């Protein structure tokens, strides 16, 4: 039987999730959408139901699983509502806009005794990142010593405020660095460029590895995500993320997209495919609510320590047994 997916929030990211659910995911269909802007909801619905509010979408018999892609500040309440209704949810990152809210989601999921929340850290499904991890895990570069991350956006979204470069963007590197290295982050130091952008964030792991990340919100030339891992016997890096190379006006090379939708289209498709499979068959396979909590907790601690000139010690509580 086809799984009916309901999408809450149909802006840039939610429209892509709605499109995937409607057209590209085996065993699933788009059952309906909700957006605070009814015009956006209608545009993304592609003939599916436009619900009058998010609670009606979550409660609907036609909706078997929910994608939460509304603004960060709405994620925790909606994830809690999905847990209460017993419906699997794919919640866009970050899991919540504060650590306290993220912890409420973890606690509610632990009380339900069953994992049903996946957080949209889709880089875990990107073919390049998966190959890096496979090579590192099979000893292909020896023991890791360093991970260099680059995260460049064309320009910061209009709704970006204060420390969101850390709490909304850098959370991706927190998650992917934990996943790639299998280590926990124990300290962080932040250097800010002129006007506060870019940021250079250096973390240490509990195995002594160094994780450096450039978070650049206004890099102008294109959306560019890169990673290179250095080991005792070699290095492994993402290849240039371009389907074509282009020659124009005396220069040639790879073509960068404007945003993450084309760059991570494959990752988002694989993420939703696996999520739909897990909704039918058991435990979600991507980032858990616990991973979402850890990313948000570390981001909040990094943001709080940004003004200081000493490294910030990072800490998270012990992992509940539900998360292995």
Ligand X SMILES: NC(=O)c1ccc[n+]([C@@H]2O[C@H](COP(=O)([O-])OP(=O)(O)OC[C@H]3O[C@@H](n4cnc5c(N)ncnc54)[C@H](O)[C@@H]3O)[C@@H](O)[C@H]2O)c1
Binding site for ligand X (CB under 6 A): 8-14, 34-37, 40, 54, 69-72, 74, 92-93, 120, 122, 168, 260
Nearest approach, Cβ of residue 321 and ligand X (Å):
28
Is the CB of 49 or the CB of 205 nearer to ligand X?
Answer: 49
User: Which residue's beta carbon is nearest to the bound ligand X?
Assistant: 11
| Residue 188, token pair as written in the block | 């962080």
Nearest approach, Cβ of residue 98 and ligand X (Å):
13
CA pseudo-torsion sign 59, 64, 69, 72 = positive
Is the CB of 37 or the CB of 258 nearer to ligand X?
Answer: 37
- Residue 152, burial from CB neighbour count under 10 angstroms (0-12, 13-18, 19+): buried
Nearest approach, Cβ of residue 11 and ligand X (Å):
2
Respond yes or no on whether the N-terminal peptide bond of residue 215 is cis (omega within 30° of 0).
no
| Residue 241, token pair as written in the block | 């993320």
Is the CB of 158 or the CB of 233 nearer to ligand X?
Answer: 158
Nearest approach, Cβ of residue 14 and ligand X (Å):
6
| Residue 230, token pair as written in the block | 């250095």
Q: Which residue has the tokens 């909590």?
A: 293
Is the CB of 32 or the CB of 231 nearer to ligand X?
Answer: 32
Nearest approach, Cβ of residue 69 and ligand X (Å):
5
In 3D space, the residue among 82, 72, 62 whose CA is nearest the CA of residue 21 turns out to be 62
The beta strands (E) that lie in the chain are given as 3-8, 28-34, 49-50, 65-68, 89-91, 117-119, 144-152, 185-192, 199-205, 210-216, 224-231, 235-237, 245-248, 251-254, 287-288, 312-313
Strands 210-216 and 199-205, how do they pair? antiparallel
Could you give the CA distance from residue 53 to residue 40 in angstroms, rounded to a whole number? 14
CA pseudo-torsion sign 166, 169, 174, 177 = negative
Nearest approach, Cβ of residue 301 and ligand X (Å):
19
| Residue 259, token pair as written in the block | 């945003």
HEC secondary structure over 249-265: CCEEEECCCCCHHHHCH
Could you give the CA distance from residue 18 to residue 204 in angstroms, rounded to a whole number? 38
> What is the phi/psi pair of residue 69, to 5°?
-135, 30
Is the CB of 93 or the CB of 224 nearer to ligand X?
Answer: 93
Is the CB of 164 or the CB of 276 nearer to ligand X?
Answer: 164
In 3D space, the residue among 122, 120, 54 whose CA is nearest the CA of residue 87 turns out to be 54
């Amino acid at each position: 039987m086809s799984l009916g997916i309901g999408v809450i929030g149909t802006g840039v990211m939610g429209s892509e999730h709605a499109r995937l659910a409607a057209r590209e995911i085996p065993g699933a269909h788009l059952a309906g959408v909700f957006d605070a802007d009814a015009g956006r909801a209608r545009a993304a619905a592609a003939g599916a139901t436009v619900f009058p509010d998010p609670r009606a979408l979550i409660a609907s018999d036609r909706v078997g699983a929910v994608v939460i892609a509304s603004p960060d500040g709405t994620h925790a309440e909606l994830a809690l509502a999905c847990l209460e209704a017993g419906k699997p949810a794919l919640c866009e990152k970050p899991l919540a806009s504060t650590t306290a809210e993220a912890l409420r989601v973890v606690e509610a999921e632990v009380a339900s005794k069953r994992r049903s929340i996946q957080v949209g850290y889709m880089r875990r499904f990107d073919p390049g990142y998966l190959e890096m991890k496979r090579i590192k895990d099979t000893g292909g570069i020896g023991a890791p010593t360093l991970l260099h991350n680059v995260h460049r956006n064309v320009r910061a979204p209009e709704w970006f405020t204060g420390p969101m470069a850390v709490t909304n963007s850098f959370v991706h590197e927190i998650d992917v660095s934990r996943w790639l290295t299998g280590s926990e982050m124990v300290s962080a130091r932040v250097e800010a460029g002129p006007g506060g952008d870019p940021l250079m964030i250096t973390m240490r792991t509990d195995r002594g590895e160094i994780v450096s990340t450039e978070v650049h919100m206004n890099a102008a030339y294109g959306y560019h995500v890169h990673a290179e891992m250095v080991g005792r016997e070699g290095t492994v890096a993402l290849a240039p993320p371009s389907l074509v190379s282009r020659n124009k006006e005396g220069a040639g090379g790879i073509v960068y997209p404007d945003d993450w939708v084309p760059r991570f289209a494959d990752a988002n498709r694989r993420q939703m495919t696996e999520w739909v499979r897990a909704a039918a068959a058991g435990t979600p396979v991507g980032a858990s609510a616990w991973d979402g909590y850890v990313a948000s907790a570390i981001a909040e601690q990094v943001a709080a320590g940004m003004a200081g000139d000493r490294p910030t010690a990072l800490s998270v509580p012990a992992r509940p047994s539900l998360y292995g």
